[in-house]
Amino acid sequence: MRTDATPRTLRAVHDAECAVACTADIIGSKWTAVIVHDLSEGPRRFSELERACPGISPRTLSERLDMLEREEIASRESFPESPPRVQYRLTQKGVALLPIIRAMSDFGHSWLVNDSEHAKTHAT
C-alpha cells in the first residue's frame, strides 16, 4: 500500500516483474481457479476433479494439474496399488492462493450468481 502522495503510474509492460501479471498467468487459465478451489477441500483423485468440473476434457485437466505441479501449487502423490492410485493436494504455496479464490467466490456470489443463502450470511 502506497503511503506517499505521488500518483500511481501504470507499467508500460506487464512482464515477469509484475506481480499481478505473474499471478494471472497461473490462475487466469480456464479451469485453474476451479481446480484450486476443489483442492482446497482436501486431496482429490483425478476422476474426482474430472467429475467436479463438468465439461473439462481429461487432457485439459491433466495439463492444468501438470502446470500446478510445476508451479508448486499442487503436489501429486502416487500410491503403489493395483490399479495405481494418484491424488493431488495443495501445497503451502497453493494454500496461500486461497484468499484470492475466496474473493472470487464472494464476488461471484455477490454479483454473478443468485444465491440467497450466501447473501444472508454476508449481509452487512
Alpha-carbon gap, residue 23 to 73, rounded angstroms: 12
More confident residue, 18 or 120: 18
Collapsed DSSP state (helix, strand, coil) of residue 7: coil
Torsion of Cα atoms, 38 then 40 then 98 then 122, to 10° = 80
pLDDT of residue 124: 42
In a domain, 9, yes or no: no
More confident residue, 63 or 11: 63
Alpha-carbon gap, residue 120 to 116, rounded angstroms: 6
Q: Taking the model in full, what pTM does it have?
A: 0.79
pLDDT of residue 83: 87
In a domain, 92, yes or no: yes
In a domain, 7, yes or no: no
Alpha-carbon gap, residue 116 to 121, rounded angstroms: 9
In a domain, 74, yes or no: yes
In a domain, 6, yes or no: no
Domain that holds residue 87: 19-121
User: For residue 8, what is the DSSP state?
Assistant: P
The CB-side HSE value for 66 (13 A sphere, CA atoms) comes to 6
Tell me how many domains the chain contains: 1
Residue 87's DSSP bridge partners are 45, 77
Q: Which residue has the cell 505521488?
A: 6
Instruction: Give the gyration radius of the chain's Cα atoms.
Output: 18
In a domain, 11, yes or no: no
In a domain, 8, yes or no: no
In a domain, 10, yes or no: no
CATH of residue 27's domain is 1.10.10.10
pLDDT tens profile 50-72: 999 999 999 999 999 999 999 99
CA–centroid distance for 96 within its chain: 10
